[in-house]
């Protein structure tokens, strides 16, 4: 077992977050409302220090001080009301945006991933995809729903606070600005390391998630080979690596925060000391110094908050980069821009033609799976595909479904090349019962209805009866409403296969592909299903892959494959008489001399 190693962190910056713009664009109105609430809240916050100056300079001592104090406190209360309402409005709108945009990103990434060809999943583990859909989108939610708002708010407070500081004392403000500029440089430089560690941390989390997903889906095998301790150890090492990487990120982030706060507040304290000296000398009033102190505190708090926001934004930049990588993947299998339609069907079943087809899997370019394969199948025929393992039988089915395209040659369905058909049109015309049956975490009736989403309950039950599944489903605790468990763990292998057969029969396609459809059945179930399949084959073209030759003896034609090529073709009797590969396979299974 192997896990996908995440790519080395690429040189990225906050510009990566621009990839979120298509997801943010539909919600301009909400952004405008959030911006207005943000402006009002920032303005109310900036009004507080000025109110304190008026209260100190005009409200204490002298005639009318009581009136000034009352008015000042009423004004402060009014400001607090405005601040409370605008802050609540800002919180609601930006939180809504965070949740909405995150949901859109998850939907967009998932919809894009499920359209990928099997080639994508040869190199990408599902656990890694799930990590990106959960952990990475959560980081983006934090940025969109909180950090952007906090960043803009504190940017406004910084700008407004600096403006009011200059209004209060140009000399002190200029000095503090020079000191802050000297502080920013080391913070920015150190922030780059935090960004790289953030990307590396997300990659290690994805790797451990991919490993966990793989093992949890193979628990019977793990336990049968007593690998519980080994797999727990492997996962523990992956988690420990993730922790160590996260620890480095946390250390760097903590150090960045400490440096930012120490340098910023150190500069502000020094300047405030100069202001205190100015009050003592009589060149500045006490109210002006109090105002300057409060604005300086706002500016310092804004800078500290911005450093936190920058850390979140850097982590989100790494997460966005990983999600954009998924969205940038283009499946090599696409519907044509101007797809053709299948001609009206005038015969029972579909006509199938393969012309000089050569194919090798992208992961094995030097080993052809099919070589110069040509085959004509008339509508309504039942053709059996037999041969040793690795002969290319299942590969043929994958090409018919356009999971892959051949490097040479063409496949035609009812005279139309499959590449010229829309993928939906092509696959709607094909039903398949795979060798590895997939049962979804749903009840029995929904698992069968997967074959045709709009089918009625009566049609589902009819398909189950054709597949000899009705009786065992009726015996389940809740009948057709019984939950079958993850991957169908509550069913036997034969029962799962009959569910899959019922699903294909419900679809009622003109072309039926059976890949070892009866391989997991006992003798009695095989007899029942075989008779049902023979009835289902009437009126459609059927291709049957089988290792058990007893199931294909009555096929209209048997095609024998070896090393990706057709080596024999004919009926059971003629192929046995030829004494070739088929005769050898038959002798092994039937004891023929």
What's the pLDDT tens digit per position in 179-189?
A: 777 776 776 67
Question: pLDDT by residue (tens digit) across 151-168?
Answer: 888 888 888 888 888 888
Element (H, E) at 238: helix 228-281
Give the span between the Cα atoms of 394 and 403, in whole angstroms.
11
Q: How far is CA 412 from CA 33, 290, 342, 392, 538, in A?
A: 56, 84, 10, 18, 22
Give the span between the Cα atoms of 235 and 482, in whole angstroms.
34
pLDDT of residue 520: 59
Band of residue 553 on the pLDDT scale cut at 50, 70, 90? confident
Please enumerate in sequence order all residues whose Cβ is within 8 A of that of 438, keeping only pairs 6 or more positions apart, or say none. 487, 500
Q: Compute the residue count for the chain.
A: 593
Question: pLDDT by residue (tens digit) across 493-531?
Answer: 778 888 888 888 888 889 999 888 776 566 776 777 677
Range of lowest pLDDT (23-27, 485-489, 566-570)? 485-489
Band of residue 191 on the pLDDT scale cut at 50, 70, 90? low
Please enumerate in sequence order all residues whose Cβ is within 8 A of that of 347, keeping only pairs 6 or more positions apart, or say none. 379, 380
pLDDT of residue 81 exceeding 80: yes
Q: Angle 121-126-130 (CA atoms, 0-180°, nearest 5)?
A: 140
User: pTM (2 decimals)?
Assistant: 0.67
Give the span between the Cα atoms of 593 and 590, in whole angstroms.
9
Q: Give yes or no for a contact between 561 and 386, defined as CB atoms under 8 angstroms apart.
A: yes
String of DSSP letters for 146-202: IIHHHHHHHHHHHHHHHHHHHHH-HHHHHHHHHHHHHHHHHHHHHHHHHHHHHHHHH
Give the span between the Cα atoms of 572 and 554, in whole angstroms.
8
pLDDT of residue 424 exceeding 50: yes
Burial class (CB in 10 A: 0-12, 13-18, 19+), 506: buried
Report helix angle 493-507 to 523-537, nearest 10.
10
């Amino acid at each position: 077992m192997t896990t996908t190693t995440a790519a080395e962190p690429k040189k990225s910056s906050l510009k990566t977050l621009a990839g979120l713009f298509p997801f943010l664009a539909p919600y301009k109105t909400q952004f405008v409302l959030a911006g207005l609430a943000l402006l009002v809240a920032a303005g109310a916050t900036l009004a507080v220090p000025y109110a304190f100056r008026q209260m100190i300079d005009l409200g204490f001592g002298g005639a009318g001080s009581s009136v000034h104090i009352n008015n000042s406190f009423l004004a402060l209360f009014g400001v607090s009301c405005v601040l409370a309402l605008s802050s609540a409005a800002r919180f609601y709108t930006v939180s809504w945006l965070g949740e909405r945009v995150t949901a859109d990103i998850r939907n967009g990434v998932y919809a894009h991933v499920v359209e990928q060809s099997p080639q994508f999943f040869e190199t990408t583990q599902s656990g890694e995809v799930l990590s990106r859909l959960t952990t990475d989108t959560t980081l983006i939610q934090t940025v969109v729903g909180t950090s952007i708002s906090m960043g803009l708010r504190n940017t406004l407070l910084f700008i407004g606070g600096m403006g009011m500081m200059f209004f209060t004392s140009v000399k002190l403000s200029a000095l503090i600005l020079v000191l802050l500029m000297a502080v920013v440089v080391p913070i920015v430089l150190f922030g780059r390391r935090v960004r790289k560690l953030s990307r590396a941390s997300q990659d290690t989390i994805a790797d451990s998630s991919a490993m966990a997903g793989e093992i949890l889906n193979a628990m019977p095998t793990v336990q049968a080979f007593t690998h519980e301790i080994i797999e727990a150890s492997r996962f523990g090492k992956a988690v420990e690596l993730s922790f160590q990487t996260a620890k480095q990120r946390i250390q760097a982030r903590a150090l960045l925060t400490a440096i930012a706060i120490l340098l910023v507040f150190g500069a502000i304290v020094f300047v405030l000391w100069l202001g205190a000296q100015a009050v003592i000398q009589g060149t500045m009033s006490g109210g002006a110094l109090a105002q300057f102190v409060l604005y300086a505190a706002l500016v310092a708090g804004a800078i500290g908050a911005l450093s936190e926001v920058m850390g979140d934004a850097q982590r989100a930049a790494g997460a966005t980069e990983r999600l954009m990588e998924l969205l940038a993947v283009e499946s090599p299998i696409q519907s044509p821009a101007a797809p053709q339609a299948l001609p009206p069907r005038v015969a029972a079943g579909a006509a199938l033609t393969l012309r000089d087809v050569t194919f090798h899997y992208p992961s094995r370019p030097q080993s052809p799976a099919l070589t110069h394969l040509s085959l004509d199948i008339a509508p309504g025929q039942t053709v059996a595909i037999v041969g040793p393992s690795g002969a290319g039988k299942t590969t043929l089915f994958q090409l018919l479904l356009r999971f892959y395209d051949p490097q040479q040659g063409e496949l035609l369905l009812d005279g139309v090349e499959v590449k010229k058909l829309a993928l939906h049109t092509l696959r709607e015309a094909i039903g398949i019962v795979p060798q590895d049956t997939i049962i979804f975490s749903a009840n029995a009736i929904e698992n069968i209805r997967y074959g045709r989403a709009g089918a009625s309950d009566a049609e589902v039950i009819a398909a189950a009866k054709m597949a000899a599944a009705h009786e065992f489903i009726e015996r389940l605790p809740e009948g057709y409403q019984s939950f079958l468990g993850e991957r169908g763990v509550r069913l036997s292998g034969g029962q799962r296969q009959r569910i899959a057969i019922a699903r294909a029969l419900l679809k009622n396609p003109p072309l039926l592909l059976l890949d070892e459809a009866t391989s997991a059945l006992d003798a009695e179930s095989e007899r029942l299903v075989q008779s049902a399949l023979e009835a289902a084959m009437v009126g459609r073209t059927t291709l049957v892959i089988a290792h058990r030759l007893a199931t294909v003896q009555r096929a209209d034609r048997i095609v024998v494959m070896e090393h990706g090529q057709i080596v024999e073709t004919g009926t059971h009797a003629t192929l046995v008489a030829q004494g070739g590969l088929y005769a050898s396979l038959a002798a092994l299974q039937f004891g023929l001399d």
